[in-house]
A and B are shown apart, each in its own frame.
Chain A
Amino acid sequence: MFLRQLELTTALRPYIDDDGGEALLFIANGVGLYDGKFKLPNYQKGHLYLTSHRVCYVDDEEPRKYSVAVDLKEIERTEFYAGFLKSSAKITLFPKPSKRNLQGIRSPIPQYAYPSDALVDASATSSRSLGRSPAPARNLNATWACGIKPSLALMIKAAVSAMSTRPAASTNTSSQRNSTVSSDLDSCDTQSSALASRQTVVACPRCTFQNDASLPNCEICGASLQNSYASQLVQRPESPGPTLSGSIIGNDTIETIKFSFRAGGEKTFLERLKGALVQRKWLLQSAPPVPKPARSATLSNGSPWQVPDTTRTDTPYQRVVGIAGLERRGAELRENNKAVIGTAFEDLEALMTSAKEVIAMAEQFSRQTNSGTNSESSEAKALLSDSASALGLVATKDMLGTGSASETLYSTELARNLAEFLTDDRRGILRKEGGIMSLVDLWAVFNRTRNGIELISPLDFEKAATMWESLQLPIRLRRFRSGLLVVQEKSRTDDKTIASLLNWLREPQYAFPPSKDDLRSQSFGRGVTAQETAERFGWSVGVATEELEMAEENSALCRDQCLDGIRFWENHFMHAFDELTEPRAQLDAVQMMDELRF
């Protein structure tokens, strides 16, 4: 199981388990996947996320369906191909040999090793040119150079010989593979007669005479049949590589996975990937706690300086007593310390692993200092200290390559980042703000959580915010008439806002404090100011004003300018007092109401 299905967040990014110490290292876009030589259909344009544990591919078109991940721990080595002319740079990952599947031991040699393959090749080519699915092509190694069309007899002969020679010759291929070959050829065999009868005649494009398929020119008019025939049947894929069909998730036959970097970024990716392979952070996740010497008791439990003690786990502990035992313990301790220090200070990257601990301590300190102050800002501070987890998750500029392409990539990643930030239930930022907050507020809160590292410029921020729409994220940016930009959940539409406003205004009268207006005006509900609305819904006053005016524009509310400011009332003009006006006006009012009814 080399490739596995990927879990995605709301913003269509891979779910990163930051508790397990996983951190995002690099992002590249415009990446396509290959298995060996073959393109994987549906996996040809997407984002590649390199984390400290995995390489994740997220498709651009259908992210939920076609997203896969490769665990770094299953990678044995990588291979880099720098690209040449039109062929883009590629990085190949070779998996480690798995215990239950011995086929991985074999290095990925070309599958052309057997003479019979040439024949099988021919049959595969012809079966493809007959318009059939290219499924067998993977195993039969189709080439496009071979243009000679074999006869049906030759094809069958080739298929039979392939079936007989292959099991004997290819000892290292799995039986499953053979079965696919034979079944493919079987189906080819049974259908080929029908297909042959259909394809033996080709209509001339000029005179429509039914020519034999093997003729290069029309028997009657002499028009060339080759062109139309070829263009009809042979459809070249976009890039000149064969594609592979079938699901690739959990497919054992996939031996190598190759990433084609069509939009650049391969160099940095390779560099980070190698770094991640050396660091092996995934070991931290599953490793048992390091047996600590008594002297290092000050280190808290679950410290990141945990290394897998392979010698310990592999060999059962032998109880040795006496001086030999003491010596042995001393040696073990030294070994252990060496390992701890070795990993922690190997380089700066590794030191970053311990950042979690350091931040936890900083958090503790900040709580201690805050305990005396007022509780008003405690929420903001909690958010601030909570940002520790955010540190490892955000896309920073240095995660992306250089060049103009990375600029838009940065914006899209930032947009996804923001969407995740907003929809994160642990923080509940939008909920706290009544489901709507101004972009400026969001910018402030977001930059605060970054603890002064990699702050976002307002320009980048706005650019990212405008991309929510195109990325189909669950957040939307809304521009009020006055130009105020606010952030909202996508599901929260104007209609819903109006409905909740009206519901509030229609609340039973005793819910409101008695006003000094006369009682008869109370039968119309109640007028509210922007201030009251802001208090009621937890909006800021600016947002409340805009929402009220939006509702007014939709004829749901109307205004009442009085000495103490503007009050908004439910729009009784539109549907009450109907009996006063002429039938024509009544009709209009009814139509208006129909438009207003949501």
Chain B
Amino acid sequence: MATTSTTPTPLPLPSSSISTPAQSSTTQSSTFTFPTYTHFPPLYTVQPNLQTRARQLDLWSSLILSYTAHHHIFRLSLSTPPADLFTNPPRTRTLKPSDIRIVLDHMALQTPSRIEWLPPSTKGEKMGNTCWVYWKTLAEWADVLYGWVEETGQKGAVLTVYELREGDAVMGREWVGMDEGMLRKVLGVLVKRGKAQVFGQQEGEGVKFF
């Protein structure tokens, strides 16, 4: 057997393979560069060895988060997953839907949890098909939101939830397009911290930042 060396050969990993989520607001138009390991065929088979599987699921988790961050996706649906996320670049391997669920379940169990399953839309189903993806954790989102409030000098002002989501002032900000339910959760974190107060009913809901 002709072998070059017995030591494990490190793989050449292009350093530019991953775009960080922070840059995403400016590089939205550019295409997402898939990391090298998406070219590794075994990634698309859930490994029976538990040690290996844990590592594999971690890789999937990081891939999903960077992908969703890049494309500003806040919500993943199993019935209509992003076309290129779970398929390898030459399109020869695809992660099966049942395996996608395994990956997402793994992410839900991480601390802090990176996804959250939404209750099933139709009553008959046991498990939900859709989930929120926290490519920033709730705490991070709260920091981002509060940072913006401070930056724009709106402490003490009252803003409606609608304004926070779709108002002219927040154009181009990261959380634009976030589900209302998710935004409420972020505000909930701020309320817990004592940095904001939510009052009013469904439509005319207002938030006051301190």
Q: A residues near B, CB below 8 A?
A: 499-500, 502-504, 506-508, 511, 516-518, 520-521, 523-524, 527, 552-553, 555, 558-562, 567, 569, 571-577, 579-581, 585, 589, 592
Q: Does B83 contact A (CB under 8 A)?
A: no
Task: Given A508-B2, A559-B45, A577-B36, output 4 extra A-B contacts at Cβ < 8 Å.
Answer: A518-B89, A521-B41, A560-B93, A574-B51
Q: Does B124 contact A (CB under 8 A)?
A: no
A residues less than 8 Å from B30 (CB atoms)? none
Is A527 in contact with B41, judged by CB distance below 8 angstroms?
yes
Q: A503-B3, A503-B6 are in contact. Are A572 and B58 (CB under 8 A)?
A: no
User: Which of B8-16, B128-136, B146-154 lines the interface with chain A?
Assistant: B8-16
Is A523 in contact with B12, judged by CB distance below 8 angstroms?
yes
Is A504 in contact with B11, judged by CB distance below 8 angstroms?
no
A residues less than 8 Å from B48 (CB atoms)? 552, 559
Q: In this complex, what residue of B is CB-closest to A578?
A: B13
Select one of A559, A579, A592 contacting B47, CB under 8 A: A559
Select one of B2, B4, B6, B37 contacting A572, CB under 8 A: B37
Q: Does B155 contact A (CB under 8 A)?
A: no
- For the complex formed, measure the closest distance between the CB of B38 and the CB atoms of chain A, giving whole angstroms: 9
B residues less than 8 Å from A577 (CB atoms)? 13, 35-37, 59
- For the complex formed, measure the closest distance between the CB of B67 and the CB atoms of chain A, giving whole angstroms: 13
* Interface members, chain B 33-80 (any A CB < 8 Å): 35-37, 39-45, 47-49, 51-52, 55-56, 58-59, 62
- For the complex formed, measure the closest distance between the CB of B79 and the CB atoms of chain A, giving whole angstroms: 23
- For the complex formed, measure the closest distance between the CB of B14 and the CB atoms of chain A, giving whole angstroms: 10
Q: A507-B2, A581-B62 are in contact. Are A521 and B39 (CB under 8 A)?
A: yes
A-B CB contact pairs (8 Å), 14 listed: A500-B1, A503-B6, A506-B4, A508-B4, A523-B12, A527-B41, A560-B42, A562-B41, A567-B41, A571-B52, A572-B42, A573-B40, A576-B10, A577-B13
- B90-117, CB under 8 A of A: which get 1 and which 0? 1011000000000000000000000000
Is B1 in contact with A560, judged by CB distance below 8 angstroms?
no
State in angstroms the CA–CA spacing of A585 and B62 once bound together. 12
- For the complex formed, measure the closest distance between the CB of A535 and the CB atoms of chain B, giving whole angstroms: 14
Is A576 in contact with B1, judged by CB distance below 8 angstroms?
no
Select one of B37, B44, B59 contacting A560, CB under 8 A: B44
Q: A523-B12, A579-B13, A589-B55 are in contact. Are A573 and B47 (CB under 8 A)?
A: yes
Q: In the complex, which of the residues B18, B55, B56, B88 has the most CB atoms of chain A within 10 Å of its own CB atom?
A: B55
B residues less than 8 Å from A553 (CB atoms)? 49
B residues less than 8 Å from A511 (CB atoms)? 2
State in angstroms the CA–CA spacing of A571 and B52 once bound together. 8
Listed from nearest, the 6 A-B pairs whose CB atoms lie closest are A520-B39, A560-B42, A561-B45, A518-B90, A560-B41, A573-B55
Select one of A555, A560, A581, A589 contacting B45, CB under 8 A: A560
A residues less than 8 Å from B12 (CB atoms)? 523
Select one of A507, A508, A575 contacting B8, CB under 8 A: A575
Is A523 in contact with B39, judged by CB distance below 8 angstroms?
yes
State in angstroms the CA–CA spacing of A500 and B1 once bound together. 9
Q: In this complex, what residue of A is CB-closest to B93?
A: A562
State in angstroms the CA–CA spacing of A555 and B9 once bound together. 17
Is A558 in contact with B47, judged by CB distance below 8 angstroms?
yes
A residues less than 8 Å from B41 (CB atoms)? 517, 521, 524, 527, 560, 562, 567, 569
Q: A580-B18, A580-B59 are in contact. Are A574 and B52 (CB under 8 A)?
A: yes
Q: In this complex, what residue of A is CB-closest to B37?
A: A577
State in angstroms the CA–CA spacing of A555 and B47 once bound together. 10
State in angstroms the CA–CA spacing of A273 and B62 once bound together. 79
State in angstroms the CA–CA spacing of A507 and B42 once bound together. 19
Select one of B42, B52, B58, B88 contacting A585, CB under 8 A: B58
A residues less than 8 Å from B51 (CB atoms)? 555, 574, 592
Interface residues on B, range: 35 or more
Is A558 in contact with B52, judged by CB distance below 8 angstroms?
yes
Q: In this complex, what residue of B is CB-closest to A537?
A: B1
State in angstroms the CA–CA spacing of A196 and B149 once bound together. 104
State in angstroms the CA–CA spacing of A111 and B1 once bound together. 70
- For the complex formed, measure the closest distance between the CB of A532 and the CB atoms of chain B, giving whole angstroms: 14
B residues less than 8 Å from A589 (CB atoms)? 55
Q: In this complex, what residue of A is CB-closest to B51?
A: A555
Q: In this complex, what residue of B is CB-closest to A580?
A: B62
State in angstroms the CA–CA spacing of A176 and B196 once bound together. 110
- For the complex formed, measure the closest distance between the CB of B68 and the CB atoms of chain A, giving whole angstroms: 15
Q: In this complex, what residue of B is CB-closest to A573?
A: B55
Is A555 in contact with B6, judged by CB distance below 8 angstroms?
no
State in angstroms the CA–CA spacing of A592 and B56 once bound together. 14
Is B1 in contact with A507, judged by CB distance below 8 angstroms?
yes
State in angstroms the CA–CA spacing of A554 and B20 once bound together. 34
A residues less than 8 Å from B10 (CB atoms)? 576
- For the complex formed, measure the closest distance between the CB of B167 and the CB atoms of chain A, giving whole angstroms: 35
- For the complex formed, measure the closest distance between the CB of B137 and the CB atoms of chain A, giving whole angstroms: 13
* Interface members, chain B 185-204 (any A CB < 8 Å): none
Q: A517-B90, A555-B49 are in contact. Are A573 and B13 (CB under 8 A)?
A: no
Is A573 in contact with B59, judged by CB distance below 8 angstroms?
yes
- For the complex formed, measure the closest distance between the CB of B58 and the CB atoms of chain A, giving whole angstroms: 6
Q: In this complex, what residue of A is CB-closest to B44?
A: A560
State in angstroms the CA–CA spacing of A564 and B42 once bound together. 14
Is B42 in contact with A573, judged by CB distance below 8 angstroms?
yes
Is A576 in contact with B37, judged by CB distance below 8 angstroms?
yes
Q: In this complex, what residue of B is CB-closest to A581?
A: B58
State in angstroms the CA–CA spacing of A176 and B175 once bound together. 106
B residues less than 8 Å from A507 (CB atoms)? 1-4
Is B92 in contact with A573, judged by CB distance below 8 angstroms?
no
Is A573 in contact with B11, judged by CB distance below 8 angstroms?
no
State in angstroms the CA–CA spacing of A592 and B88 once bound together. 27
State in angstroms the CA–CA spacing of A8 and B52 once bound together. 47
B residues less than 8 Å from A576 (CB atoms)? 10-11, 13, 36-37
A residues less than 8 Å from B89 (CB atoms)? 518, 520
State in angstroms the CA–CA spacing of A559 and B99 once bound together. 15
State in angstroms the CA–CA spacing of A569 and B52 once bound together. 12
State in angstroms the CA–CA spacing of A468 and B90 once bound together. 51
Q: In this complex, what residue of B is CB-closest to A579?
A: B13
State in angstroms the CA–CA spacing of A569 and B41 once bound together. 9
State in angstroms the CA–CA spacing of A562 and B41 once bound together. 9
- For the complex formed, measure the closest distance between the CB of B107 and the CB atoms of chain A, giving whole angstroms: 13
Is B36 in contact with A520, judged by CB distance below 8 angstroms?
yes
Is A521 in contact with B45, judged by CB distance below 8 angstroms?
no
B residues less than 8 Å from A562 (CB atoms)? 41, 45, 92-93
A residues less than 8 Å from B93 (CB atoms)? 560, 562
- For the complex formed, measure the closest distance between the CB of B165 and the CB atoms of chain A, giving whole angstroms: 31
State in angstroms the CA–CA spacing of A527 and B45 once bound together. 13
Q: In this complex, what residue of A is CB-closest to B47?
A: A558
Q: In the complex, which of the residues A516, A523, A558, A575 has the most CB atoms of chain B within 10 Å of its own CB atom?
A: A558
- For the complex formed, measure the closest distance between the CB of A386 and the CB atoms of chain B, giving whole angstroms: 30
Q: In this complex, what residue of B is CB-closest to A572?
A: B40
Q: In this complex, what residue of B is CB-closest to A552?
A: B49
Q: A517-B41, A517-B90, A520-B39 are in contact. Are A572 and B47 (CB under 8 A)?
A: no
- For the complex formed, measure the closest distance between the CB of A125 and the CB atoms of chain B, giving whole angstroms: 67
State in angstroms the CA–CA spacing of A585 and B110 once bound together. 12
Is A524 in contact with B40, judged by CB distance below 8 angstroms?
yes
Is B39 in contact with A524, judged by CB distance below 8 angstroms?
yes
Q: In the complex, which of the residues A500, A506, A580 has the most CB atoms of chain B within 10 Å of its own CB atom?
A: A580
B residues less than 8 Å from A575 (CB atoms)? 8
- For the complex formed, measure the closest distance between the CB of B98 and the CB atoms of chain A, giving whole angstroms: 13
